[in-house]
Structure 1
Amino acid sequence: MKRINAARMVKTAVASLACMLMVSGCSYESEAESAGSAATSTAQQDLNTIMKWWGGSYNNDRQLTALAAAGKPIWRVDDTGKGGHIEVTSHYRAIDLPEFGDHVIYVEETKHGDPENIFRQRIYALSIDDADQVRVKLWYFNDKKKYVGAWKDLSRLKGLTKEEMFPLQDDCDLLVKKQGDKYHMPMGDKACVFGKNYFSYQVLLGEDSFWFRDKINAVADDSIVSMAGDYTYHELDRVN
């Protein structure tokens, strides 16, 4: 009888331990799933905020006025101030283009207040990657004149197809990180390579501000091929 009771006690203990392990496992899985959901939720919130903030028109008039007063170089239309900051007007417009994704922005930037002097014209496709990080894919227009001014009438872009564009490689995506009350969006370090050069472009986006800086370096020795404003930010403020 004692042997039978002992056997029963062992079985009961094993069953209890298994139950505890199962509960613990279930608890662990639940916490992991919860953490994954929280990360996705945060990334989605960031994505929604970026789409809300980025839409608008910007210029760096205030910055240029301050630079001129301080005697700093400004890259004028005749290039007499080459190496300084450029006068830039930027237009960012959220647009419905499902072929490029669920969160798409049309980008049009001009230099020196000249609508025909296009500095940057892109389609930006924002998404959340497998690491729960917001990424920005950059698409270039094959025809650089066909859609100039489309920020004023987005219907002109209706039906735009990927055949009319070409994307930069994934290594050129902007990788979004929260930085204080702004979103920092750099490319990967020395990642965006074209032939003998690599391109560095960064954005710092606030609720009412859009800053950017860019430069091109040689892969071989990191020497500067092209750069404006000593790679300091062009500080653009929202104007509408």
Structure 2
Amino acid sequence: MKPIKKITLTFFLMGFLVCQSQEKQKKANASSPTMGQSSNVKTKRLATTVEPNRKFSYPERELDYLMHIWEGEYDNVEQLDFDKIQLKEGQKAPHERVHASVRQFQNSNFGVGAVYVEEYRNDDPSNITRKCVYQLFPDDTEKAIRVKVFHFEDKTAVLAAGHSFDRISSLTPESEALVEGCEMILRRNGNGFLAKTVDKSCNKSTDGQQTTDYQFGITEDTFEFQEVKYDFGQRSADDEQVSAYQLEKARCFTCMLDFPNDTNGRPTVTKYYIDMYDQGGSFEFEYPDGRQMHFGMRNTWSFGMHRETFVIYIVDKATQKTLIYSWGNPGADRIGFNPGWVRVQCDLKTPGNLKLQQELRPGS
């Protein structure tokens, strides 16, 4: 064999082996997602599961788009602020704090069109109020998407507790761990989707007199839900209804908190590396002098500027006084402050930013 051919063949084999090694590494890393990460596995789209040359039906196209936008973290912390402003004396706040996590359910037993939804309330990850799988099918007759709902008997947190999806990956729609709920129909609604219970008498109260129509809506940046009450088949009066819960999609940031360093060497030392969501993320910590402090992150409405503002801040818990804050545009991927007594840097959580932060503060 000629030398040139030998060299060409050698490079070809080396390239092939490197590609194979990288593929194996990708599969090995495809574990359950950590906070702020959806998955290391590329999410399947509907287009990859049908004949590539076949024309999609309208419901198939809608399902494909829905699966593309729905996954993420959602929180209604901003809604609570507006509730508080509008409350009259003696009135009870209409909504609780709700955080929802939505992940595409990578399980062939449920098909490609399935998502896992986990909700907790009052900023308590152990207070799980909804834990279910939505199995979605394109319905050509209805020109919509049909939804089968499967509730988990066990309401123990999975995503909120940072547990692996391996716990539920082997489930099927027939699993004893699941209870089938009310079927729903999901249709296009403006720039998003709205799902309603098919049988309004499906969710009954204990005495059977009251029923609930659970509805939810999805857009690219929001997730809303409402329980519409009925008495003896008639929709209850407006003053007996609770308006929809309005959750906004959250982004995860990784932050480092630095304190002044009294010893020789670097002027500051990184005390904490933390992950926070920009929709009401919070972290409690103790300052070196013993004071208890609250570090928060918000995408909040600025009444003075009439727009949303991305804010981080520190509050002294004893006095409830805001000691420092910083603001920027809602779409910013980095924010921080350094008044001298503390240094905070928050970056949108990506592998590159994580590496950058570790390099900025080696050994801390």
TM-score, reference length from structure 2: 0.47
Residue 180 of structure 2 aligns with an amino acid whose one-letter code is P
1:117 Cα offset (Å) = 0.7
1:157 Cα offset (Å) = 2.0
Contact 1:199 1:216 in 2 (8 A): yes
Q: Deviation digits for residues 56-106 of structure 1, max 9, x if unmatched?
A: 000011111111122269xxxxxx975611110000000212222331111
Q: Which has the larger radius of gyration?
A: 1
SS of residue matched to 2:106: coil
1:222 Cα offset (Å) = 5.5
Q: Deviation digits for residues 117-173 of structure 1, max 9, x if unmatched?
A: 1111111111113514201211011222274736763233221232221112xxx22
- For residues 189 and 201 of structure 1, do their structure 2 counterparts lie closer, same or farther at Cα, with a shift above 3 Å needed? same
2:178 maps to 1:165:
yes
Q: Work out the CA distance in 1 between the residues paired with 2:104 and 2:88.
A: 35
Could you tell me which residue of structure 1 aligns to residue 100 of structure 2? 90
Could you tell me which residue of structure 2 aligns to residue 138 of structure 1? 149
Count of paired positions: 190
Could you tell me which residue of structure 2 aligns to residue 114 of structure 1? 124
Residue 219 of structure 2 aligns with an amino acid whose one-letter code is G
* More displaced 10-residue stretch of structure 1: 41-50 or 208-217: 208-217
Could you tell me which residue of structure 1 aligns to residue 194 of structure 2? 184
Higher helix share: 1
Residue 214 of structure 2 aligns with an amino acid whose one-letter code is Y
Q: Work out the CA distance in 2 between the residues paired with 1:204 and 1:146.
A: 23
* More displaced 10-residue stretch of structure 1: 86-95 or 191-200: 191-200
- For residues 83 and 67 of structure 1, do their structure 2 counterparts lie closer, same or farther at Cα, with a shift above 3 Å needed? closer
Could you tell me which residue of structure 2 aligns to residue 64 of structure 1? 80
**Aligned counterpart for 2:164 among listed residues 137, 145, 153:** 153
Contact 1:183 1:205 in 2 (8 A): yes
Larger relative contact order, structure 1 or 2 (CA cutoff 8 Å, min sep 6): 1
Contact 1:95 1:154 in 2 (8 A): no
Could you tell me which residue of structure 2 aligns to residue 41 of structure 1? 57
Q: Work out the CA distance in 2 between the residues paired with 1:184 and 1:145.
A: 28
Percent of matched pairs sharing the same residue: 28
1:48 Cα offset (Å) = 1.1
Q: Work out the CA distance in 2 between the residues paired with 1:69 and 1:82.
A: 12
- For residues 81 and 92 of structure 1, do their structure 2 counterparts lie closer, same or farther at Cα, with a shift above 3 Å needed? farther
Residue 179 of structure 1 aligns with an amino acid whose one-letter code is N
Q: Work out the CA distance in 2 between the residues paired with 1:83 and 1:142.
A: 30
1:49 Cα offset (Å) = 1.2
- For residues 193 and 66 of structure 1, do their structure 2 counterparts lie closer, same or farther at Cα, with a shift above 3 Å needed? closer
Higher strand share: 2
- For residues 214 and 220 of structure 1, do their structure 2 counterparts lie closer, same or farther at Cα, with a shift above 3 Å needed? closer
- For residues 124 and 220 of structure 1, do their structure 2 counterparts lie closer, same or farther at Cα, with a shift above 3 Å needed? closer
What stretches of structure 1 of length at least 5 have no aligned partner? 1-36, 74-79
